[in-house]
Each structure stands twice: as structure tokens, then as C-alpha cells.
Amino acid sequence: MTTVSLTVNGQSVTADVDPRTLLVQFLRDNLRLTGTHVGCDTSQCGACVVHLNGQAVKSCTTLAVQANASVVTTIEGIAQGGELHPMQAAFREHHGLQCGYCTPGMIMSAIDIVNRKGNTLDEQTIRAELEGNLCRCTGYHNIVKAVAAGAKGMAQAPLQQAAE
């Protein structure tokens, strides 16, 4: 067993884990944060995307022990004070989901895109940047609309952005 200490959604967490525990397993099984999904388990589909030190990563391809002393944000950690994060609100408003399985990863990736590319995103940029996230309902059209709207929404909610 190896001790791992990290911050998850603002809370300090310390646990002894088998070193082969994936970050996504640690989040789901140890911390019961089941919003982060395992889709393909082969680093392709992006259902497991979380933020590691502010950057989007695939938690199915990261060991929990690699996240030692890091800051992790999951889909459960982005709403503030009972209010949906602007990107979550945009996905709801634009119906950017069908079955919802890919949605946590889509939203965490979308926030990362805005952090890197700014609040005004054209369709081509969004589609290119979402290449690491698969939606098997083929719901991309509304996801792209939601990301564009969420990006604008994040500009209007600077406090929430800073908190994330």
C-alpha cells in the first residue's frame, strides 16, 4: 500500500491505496464521487476527464498515486453554493446530452477549453478541441452549442470561474 494525499474538490484527502489504483477508481470507489465515469477505459472516450492541477486529464490513465500532492476537481466540485456552473447550466439549457454518460467528461473538458482558448469559441474550435470526448448518442450538435454558450456564461460569472 502507498499513502496518497491530495485535494479533491477543495477537501484534503489522505488514503492508503494499492499503487495500481487508477485515479478514477479512487474517486469513484474510495471517495464515492461517481459523477466521473469510466467509458472505454482505454484513454479514448473522455468520460473520465477530471482536472488535475487545473488541467483536463483522463483519470482512467492516471494512477491515484501520481496525483499525490495535487489538486483534483471533478464534476461534483464545480457547482458553487447550489448554483450550477455556467457550463453545466449551458448543457441543461441547450440539451447538450441524451443519455448523459459522456456529460461529466464533456463539461470538464469544455471548462478546460474555455480556460485555454477564452470565452468566444467558434464551432470549428470546439469540435477540434472535443476530439478526446466521445458521445455515442451522437449528440455533438447540441454539445457544441452548449459549449459555446457555456463559454460566454463563464465570462459573465468571473467569481465562479475563479473559484473553480
Partner 1 sequence: MYAFEYHRPTSVKEAAGLAGQAEDTKFLAGGHTLLPTMKLRLAGPANLIDLGQIAELRGIERSGDTITIGAMMKHAEVANSAEVKQAIPALAEMAELIGDPHVRNRGTIGGSVANNDPSADYPAACLALNATIITNQRKIAADDFFQGIFTTALQEGEIITQVSFKVPSQAAYTKFRNPASRYALVGVFVAKHADGVRVAVTGAGSNGVFRLPEMEKALSGNFAAEAIDGIAVATDEMNSDIHADAAYRAHLVGVMARRAVQAAAARG
Q: Give the interface with partner 1 as residue ranges (CB under 8 A).
A: 2, 18-20, 41-43, 46, 49, 52, 55-58, 61-63, 65-66, 68, 109, 112-113, 116, 129, 131-132
CB 17 within 8 A of CB 64: yes
Joined grid coordinates for residue 101: 454518460
| Nearer to partner 1 among residue 60 and residue 154 (C-beta) | 60
Shortest approach of partner 1 to residue 124 CB, angstroms? 15
Joined grid coordinates for residue 139: 449528440
CB 83 within 8 A of CB 110: no
| Nearer to partner 1 among residue 47 and residue 148 (C-beta) | 47
Joined grid coordinates for residue 108: 470538464
| Nearer to partner 1 among residue 126 and residue 148 (C-beta) | 126
Shortest approach of partner 1 to residue 102 CB, angstroms? 13
* Maximal CA-CA distance, the chain: 47
